Amino acid sequence: MKARETLGALAAGLLFGVGLIVSGMTDPAKVLAFLDFAGAWDPSLALVMAGAIAVAHIGFRATGRLAREGRADGRLILGSVLFGLGWGLAGYCPGPVVVAAGALSPAALVMLPALLAGLWITERWLARGAARDQSK
C-alpha cells in the first residue's frame, strides 16, 4: 500500500511536470500572453485546463472524490485576489515555478523561496489560529 502510494505519487509528479512543459505553461511569457486578454491573446492555457479537467474528472468520479465542500467565503476570495496579483506580476503559479526550478531557471529559483516563505508563514499562522480556537 505504502509502495503504491509513493511510486504512484512519483509517477504523478513526473507526469504532471511533463504535462506542464509540453503545454508550454513553464514559460511565463506564454502564461502572461493568455492573461493579456486585451492584447495579442494566446488561448493555449484554456485548452490546457479543458484537457486536464476532462481527464481528471473521470479519475475523481471513478474514485468517488467529487466535491462535497461548502460555499466560497471571504478567506477564499481574499486569498484568490492575492494569488491573482502575484500570478499576473510573474506569470508563474506554484506548479510551473517548481518545475522551472527543477530545470534550474534563475527566475524560478529566485521566486520559489519567496513563494515557499509565503506559504509556510501563512500555514503556521493559520495553524496557530486553529489551535487558539480549540483551546477556548
Report 51-110 residues binding other proteins (CB under 8 A): 51-60, 62-63, 65-67, 69-72, 75-95, 97-103, 105-108, 110
- The reply on whether position 128 binds other proteins by CB under 8 A is no
Nearest approach, Cβ of 113 to other proteins (angstroms)? 7
CB of residue 86 to other proteins, shortest distance in Å: 3
Q: Residue 54, SS3?
A: helix
| CA-wise closest residue to 31 among 82, 80, 78, 86 | 86
Q: Is 116 in the site for other proteins (CB under 8 A)?
A: yes
Closest CA to 96 of 12, 18, 41: 18
Contact 111, 97 (CB under 8 A): yes
Is residue 129 a contact point for other proteins (CB under 8 A)?
no
User: Cβ closer to other proteins: 38 or 136?
Assistant: 38
